[in-house]
Amino acid sequence: MTNPLMWKERIKADFHLGIVMLFSTITILVVVPFSIRRFLVDEPVAGTLGLLIMACIASGAAHAWRTGRTNGASNFIAAMYCVFCVGIVREVQPSGVLWVFPVLVANFLLVSRVRALLLSSVVIAGVLIGDDDLATAVDQLTFLATALMVSLFSFVFASRTEIQRARLQAAALRDPLTGAGNRRGLDAELDIAMAASTRSGEPLGFLVFDIDLFKRVNDSLGHEAGDQVLRAIAALVQARTRAQDRFYRLGGEEFGLLLPSTGPDALREVAEKLRQAVEREVQCGGIPVTISLGAAPFRPSETAAEWLSRADAAMYEAKRSGRNRTVMAATAPLRARADTGQR
């Protein structure tokens, strides 16, 4: 049996999956009694339509849960809502028209705004054509105005929700001090980059570097001076890397750089250019700041943890060898971190 806590965590982690499961659950809870009621009042077509649509939506939700592919499932569910709505309006009058408004809201929360506008237009047109109770022009205009108002409110709400969610997600994956990605951001992109490299055969490199003797900066000049050094190095790295490169602050004074389409020779060259630029351009209290770097080309046979461990070991080899240098992982022993004292 699946642990209920795992269900909750998965839904919390995947916003779109949560929306799909929420609407599917609400649909099942509402449509089942509706369909039973239709059979009891001798409206078998409406009852059967409700059960069929409910089965389709439940299957779409199950597919999304099993595979994690929510886009196709949400498009399918939204389309089924529209079919159900138009069909019920034709079969159950005059109350069938009331189903239109929750369907319009669901469209904008389930699918992209362009698709939602298209589906909502189909629903509104279907109701105007198929509902005999909207016989007069006044009735039709009243319904049209109400439906458009609900659609507009739903569009605005969905747009603002998406913008806010994107901002929160970006903030959760970014270090507020330097603007670099954080460790969570690295974890989110690492598997994707590794899979792409394995599939295409394109090389992939990772640099990890640490500011030398950073503790002395904080102890002698204060944490504000240390923060300025961190920001200066982050700005320097971001100015000297490509748009496709990904820069992360891994914690404290340690940073990582994920470099697509970068083989061993190019990886060493990038590392050396960064090392020289930091030594030349970043100072604190009139003293040049230096960094020690470990470089590791990706091997398709290794895991993310093994790859990062090789880069980490190379960086600590650079520390032990005198600092302010680059060590390639291929020439560094794979070992656990050792205490280097003044880093």
Return the pLDDT at 334: 42
Using the CB atoms, write b or e for 303-333: b if 16+ within 10 Å: eeeebbbbbbbbbbbbbeeebbbbbbbeebe
Residue 324 one-letter amino acid: N
255 is a domain residue: yes
Say which DSSP state 147 is in: H
Q: Which residue has the tokens 């083989």?
A: 263
Residue 92 shares a structural domain with residue 198: no
Considering 43, 189, 202, 253, which one is annotated as catalytic? 253
Which residue from 281, 341, 273, 343 is spatially nearest to 315, judged by alpha carbons? Answer: 343
CA 224 to chain CA centroid, Å, is: 33
Query: Does residue 336 form part of some domain?
Result: no
Q: What is the pLDDT of residue 340?
A: 46
CA angle, 208 then 212 then 216, to 5°: 140
> What's the pLDDT score for residue 330?
67
| Cβ 108 vs Cβ 78: under 8 Å | no
Residue 177 lies in a domain: no
Same domain, 203 and 326: yes
Is 302 among the catalytic positions?
Answer: no
| Cβ atoms 63, 69 nearer than 8 A | yes
Q: Which residues contact 24 (CB under 8 A, 6 or more apart)?
A: 57, 58, 60, 61, 77
Residue 338 domain-assigned (yes or no): no
Do 295 and 314 meet the contact criterion of CB atoms below 8 Å apart? yes
CA distance 113 to 85: 19
Closest CA to 84 of 60, 57, 62: 57
Q: Is the separation of the CB atoms in 21 and 65 below 8 Å? A: yes
Domain-ending residue, one of 116, 143, 172: 172
Do 132 and 217 belong to one domain?
Answer: no
| Size of the chain in residues | 343
Q: Is residue 324 part of a domain?
A: yes
Q: What are phi and psi of 66, to 5 degrees?
A: -75, -40
* DSSP conformation letters of 166-196: HHHHHHHTB-TTT--B-HHHHHHHHHHHHHH
Whether 38 is in a domain gets the answer yes
Q: Which residues contact 78 (CB under 8 A, 6 or more apart)?
A: 106, 107, 110, 111, 115, 116, 119
pLDDT on residue 329 = 92
- Domain-ending residue, one of 172, 194, 227: 172
Tokens 């279907």 belong to which residue?
A: 126
**pTM beyond cutoff 0.85:** no
Query: Could you tell me if 143 and 271 lie in one domain?
Result: no
* DSSP result, 218-286: HHHH-HHHHHHHHHHHHHHHHHTS-TT-EEEEEETTEEEEEEET--HHHHHHHHHHHHHHHHHH-EETT
341 token code pair: 């004292």
The answer to whether residues 141 and 244 belong to one domain is no
Does residue 219 belong to any structural domain of this protein?
yes
Residues 155 and 238 both lie in one domain: no
For residue 294, give the CATH number of its domain. 3.30.70.270
Distance spanning both ends of the chain, measured CA to CA = 49
Structural tokens at position 64: 């999304």
Are 156 and 224 in the same domain?
Answer: no
Shared-domain flag, residues 218 and 144? no
pLDDT at 170: 74
Domain residues for 196?
183-331
Structure token digits, residue 13: 């982690």
28 and 162 co-located in one domain = yes
Is residue 343 in a domain?
Answer: no
Looking at 172, 192, 222, which one is the last position of a domain?
A: 172
What pLDDT is recorded for position 166? 80
Q: pLDDT averaged over consecutive 10-residue blocks of the chain (343 residues)?
A: 60 82 90 91 90 91 88 92 88 84 92 92 89 83 93 92 82 86 88 90 96 86 89 94 93 94 95 96 89 95 93 94 91 42 52
Which residue type, as a one-letter code, is found at position 174? R
What pLDDT sits at residue 338?
Answer: 42
Predicted pLDDT at 236: 95
From the CA atom positions of the chain, what is the Rg in Å? 29
DSSP 50: H
Identify whether the C-beta of residue 304 lies closer than 8 Å to the C-beta of residue 323.
Answer: no
Whether 29 and 161 map to the same domain: the answer is: yes
Q: Distance (Å, rounded) from C-alpha 70 to C-alpha 61? A: 8
Q: What is the model's pLDDT at position 336?
A: 36
The residues with which 297 forms a beta bridge, in sequence order, are: 205
Torsion of CA 331, 190, 233, 170, to 10 degrees: -170
Q: Are residues 210 and 93 both part of a single domain?
A: no
How many distinct structural domains can be found in the chain? 2
155, 17: one domain: yes
